[in-house]
Amino acid sequence: MNVSINKLLTGLLVSAGLVAGGAQAASQITGAGATFPAPMYAKWAEAYKGQTGTSLNYQAIGSGGGVKQIVAKTVDFGASDDPVSAADLEKNGLAQFPAIIGGVVTVVNLQGVAPGQLKLNNDVLSDIFRAKITKWNDSAIASVNPGVKLPDTAITLVYRSDSSGTTAVFTDFLAQVSAPFKGVVGAGKTVNWPAGVGGKGNAGVAANVTKIDGAIGYVEYAYAKQNKMTHVSLINRDGKAVQPNEGSFNAAASKANWTGTPNFAVNLNNQPGAASWPITSASFILMQKKAEKPEQSAEVLKFFNWAMTKGQKMATDLDYVPLPDNAVKAIIKSWSDIKGPDGKPVYVAK
């Protein structure tokens, strides 16, 4: 993991003054789940503690782990990049809302290839990740990249070994655009990859791609940028080659129907638009609707209210995309569903 992100995440845990299983005070909140937004939550937590004194202990254990933790009520909130279905929300008494938007990018370790120089279209990308294309100088890759010197090197797939929302987003995209990929690999937080090496968390994938010559993997963009990794340009739904950045993520998110989608479960993959990054996702927060510890739930909502209304600049600094104003208003309104034992909302935003 890059030093700057490592410092942020380490600082997050230190600022909370907690270790796993430690005591929890009123000025400390706990969360667990997706690694996709972890750099953003760390940055927000650092600033929020400085302004309010309230600390956040967020364990980046993967989206699947985050869902399990909030269902088990061992944390104040869970986080998942893969929105939970309406049926499962109802079954487990959960409220769901998005907190931030970012992009999933493909990263490679290829000598002599600069960041963004290599282009891949949907067919080639899906064929690589279903292990049909196994060499970097394959004619299918070369045809999309005239003038790029491609080595006669074996392709090593690097994927998430844990239950991962990033995997869910990435495989959902490939399953949307490629019937063969959908048939061979499928989509979800965990899938049966046909080949390759696993890594735990976005950081684990980034580390393995960095050390394996010829590797290709998928990570949230902040990890690629902070680790100075070689990202790949993708050809989007409109046939345009686009680079990952705040502008292309925002273009993909701009047409989303946040207020009209139940539980805010918007799918931002493969959106139309010449500037749209094709693999874009929101990251979601999960909370118990019947709050057994209403003071803790209120502190969580205060934190995310601050993050969504005061923390936008920090989000764009890390190349995430803040939620649009209409979505933020609808999200804050939805928090009235989170109630204490007395039946009253635990938090009403001022």
In terms of pTM, does the model score above 0.75? yes
Burial label for 191, CB within 10 Å (0-12, 13-18, 19+), is buried
| 3-102+281-337 and 104-255: identical CATH topology | yes
Q: Which CATH number fits domain 3-102+281-337: 3.40.190.10, 2.40.30.20, 3.40.50.2300, 3.30.750.24?
A: 3.40.190.10
Q: Which stretches does DSSP call E strand in the chain?
A: 28-33, 55-60, 77-80, 94-108, 119-120, 156-160, 197-199, 215-220, 230-231, 233-235, 241-242, 280-288
Tens of pLDDT, residue by residue over 237-290, are 999 999 999 999 999 999 899 989 999 999 999 999 999 999 999 999 999 999
Tens of pLDDT, residue by residue over 130-182, are 999 999 999 999 999 999 999 999 999 999 999 999 999 999 999 999 999 99
Band (pLDDT 50/70/90 cuts) for residue 21 is: very low
DSSP secondary structure code for residue 96 in this structure = E
In sequence order, which residues have a C-beta less than 8 Å from that of residue 45 and are 6 or more positions away? 12, 15, 16, 55, 56, 58
Q: Which amino acid is located at 108 in the chain? A: V
Please report the pLDDT score of residue 226 as a whole number. 86
Please report the pLDDT score of residue 80 as a whole number. 96
Q: Where in the chain are the domains?
A: 3-102+281-337, 104-255
Q: Does 123 have pLDDT greater than 60? A: yes
Domain 104-255: CATH superfamily, name plus number: Periplasmic binding protein-like II (3.40.190.10)
